[in-house]
Amino acid sequence: MTEVEFSGTSMTPIIRCPAALVCDSQRRPALGDIVLFQDDRCLLAHRLVGWRRGPEMHMLLRGDNRRCLDPPLPVHACLGVVVAVRRNGKRLDCMRLIVRGVFRTIAASARILAPRCEPQHPLSGFAACRVKLHRLICHLAHTILLITSWRDDAEEQ
């Protein structure tokens, strides 16, 4: 297990700064998991929302607060799966059944509602509505997790 400091806004509202991500490099990623990977500039953590099959299996990823899917990423580029999030003395165990169910719901929303777009181009009216609907689903999921799954870090030890 490795702990990585998280900064940025790509995974809000589920993960907010400052936070620490506990990652398992031995775990195989599954739909809905948050995976850690390296891009050109830094480490990123985004949600696995699907697969692209071909000569080599690729992951389809999207930050919960991003409007577009990331470019497909080869599975071997996954550095680890986030198994827990720590923030302000609280801990979210990402492997709990209810959390995994919520994460899979977010993944389905991210994949279904992802507009075909380039991050720098403006969205049409319908595509913008799809992005807003996905963000609403993420906020509802965040509320469910706040009520059911965030625990005092000391309780989890």
> What are the extents of the domains in the chain?
2-156
Identify which has the larger pLDDT, 123 or 144: 144
Digit-coded pLDDT (tens) for 23-36: 999 999 999 999 99
pLDDT of residue 5: 92
**CB hemisphere CA count around 32 (13 angstroms):** 18
* Distance, CA of 73 to CA of 23 (rounded, Å): 18
**Residues facing residue 20 across a β-bridge:** 5, 86
- Contact of 117 with 127, CB cutoff 8 Å: yes
For residue 63, pLDDT beyond 70: yes
CA distances from 103 to 7, 9, 25, 135, 143 (A): 20, 17, 19, 13, 13
Spatial CA neighbour of 47 closest among 117, 120, 100: 100
pTM for the structure as a whole: 0.87
For residue 93, pLDDT beyond 60: yes
- Return the residue matching tokens 């913008």: 128
The tokens for 70 are: 């990331």
Residues 6+ apart with CB under 8 A from 96: 149
55: phi then psi, degrees, rounded to nearest 5: -55, -35
Q: Which CATH code, of 3.30.465.10, 1.10.287.110, 2.10.109.10, 3.30.420.10, is assigned to 2-156? A: 2.10.109.10
* Distance, CA of 94 to CA of 128 (rounded, Å): 29
- Return the residue matching tokens 């490795």: 2
The length of the chain is 157
pLDDT of residue 153: 79
For residue 119, pLDDT beyond 90: no
* Distance, CA of 85 to CA of 91 (rounded, Å): 6
